[in-house]
Amino acid sequence: MKKILVLLIAISTIFSCSEDADDNVVLQNNASVNFKFSHHWDGTALNSSNYENLDLTNENGEVINIDRIRYLISRVELINTATGLRYLFDGYKFTDISNEDTYNFSPEINTIPTGSYALKFVWGFNEEDNTDGAYPDLNSASWNWPAMLGGGYHFLQFDGIYNVDTTNPSAFNYHNGTARVSDGVFEQNFAIINLSGPFMITNNATIEVKMNIAEFFKNPNTWDLNVLDTPLMPNYTAQKMMQENVMSVFSLGEITQ
C-alpha cells in the first residue's frame, strides 16, 4: 500500500512539473520576408517596358526622356518597434530598371519573428562597405566610381535627355557617389533611409518599397538641368544636393502576406 501511494505521488509530481513547464513556454512565430521595389514618376508607373518611351516633366519644367536608371542600396534592416531588436539582412541590392529580375531582393537568411516593424537601409554603400574592387558583379557591371573622385562604387546612374520638347535637347548624367571636396580630399555621401512604418508582419511577407524618381529633381532642391546636367560626378555641390534629395525618394508600399 505504501509502495502504491509513493508511486501515485511520483506520477502526480511528474505531471505537475510538466504542466508548469508548459505554462512557461512562449510560442514565437517566425516569418520570411522579401522586398519588391517598384518605380514611378509622381504616380506614373515606370518599368522595363515603358521608361524609355515617356515624356516626363520635372519640377523645374524641363521635359525629359530617360535612357538609363541603375541604383544600389545596402544594409537592409528591419527594426522591431516593440522590442527594439534589429535584423540586418545580408548582401546589397543592385537594380537596373531595364531588367525586372533585379526589382526583387531576397536575402539568403531572411527569417524574423512576427511583429511590428520599421524598415531602414543605406543608399549606396557606407564608408566601411564602399571598397574599391571588392564586388566582382559590380565590377563587371561597370559600377565603379573613379579613384580620382574617391573610388568605391556608384550609388546611382540616371541618364537621359532634357528639353526634348524644344529644338535643342541636351543630355544629362545624374550620377551619385562619393563627393570630392578637393584634390585627394573626399567626403562620404551615402544616406540612411528610414521608412518608419510601423507595419505588421504576421506571416511570410513581401514588402514593397516605392521609388519616386521625380523626387531626385525636386525635394528639397529644385534641380535645374540647364545648369546641372553634366558632368556632375566631380561637382561637390551637386553631389551633396543629390544626397539631400534622395531622402524623399523612397516610401513604403503594399505589404503582401
Q: Is the residue at 46 inside a domain? A: yes
Q: Is the residue at 226 inside a domain? A: yes
Q: Is the residue at 211 inside a domain? A: yes
Q: What is the pTM of this model?
A: 0.88
d(CA 156, CA 174): 8
pLDDT value, residue 197: 80
**Range of 105's domain?**
32-256
Q: Is the residue at 249 inside a domain? A: yes
Instruction: Measure the CA angle with vertex 10, ends 8 and 12; round to 5°.
Output: 70
Q: Is the residue at 160 inside a domain? A: yes
Percent helix, strand and coil across the chain, each rounded to 5? 20, 40, 40
The three grid cell numbers given for residue 60, joined into one nine-digit string: 523645374
pLDDT value, residue 7: 37
Q: Which residues contact 29 (CB under 8 A, 6 or more apart)?
A: 113, 114
Contact yes or no for 171/229 (Cβ under 8 A): yes
pLDDT value, residue 28: 61
d(CA 143, CA 156): 9
Pairing of strands 30-41, 170-176: unpaired
Q: Is the residue at 13 inside a domain? A: no
Q: Tens-of-pLDDT digits for all 257 residues of the chain?
A: 433 333 333 434 443 444 444 444 445 699 999 999 999 999 999 999 999 999 999 999 999 999 999 999 999 999 999 999 999 999 999 999 999 999 999 999 999 999 999 999 999 999 999 999 999 999 999 999 999 999 999 999 999 999 999 999 999 999 999 999 999 999 999 999 999 889 999 999 999 999 999 999 999 999 999 999 999 999 999 999 999 999 999 999 999 99
Q: Which 8-state DSSP code applies to residue 246? A: G
Torsion angle defined by CA atoms of residues 165, 167, 168 and 169, in that order, rounded to the nearest 10 degrees:
30
Q: Is the residue at 199 inside a domain? A: yes
Place of cell 505537475: 16
pLDDT value, residue 3: 38
Beta bridge partners of 69: 158
Total number of domains constituting the chain: 1
Q: Is the residue at 2 inside a domain? A: no
Q: How far is CA 59 from the centre of its chain?
A: 24
pLDDT value, residue 196: 80
Q: Letter for the amino acid at 90?
A: D
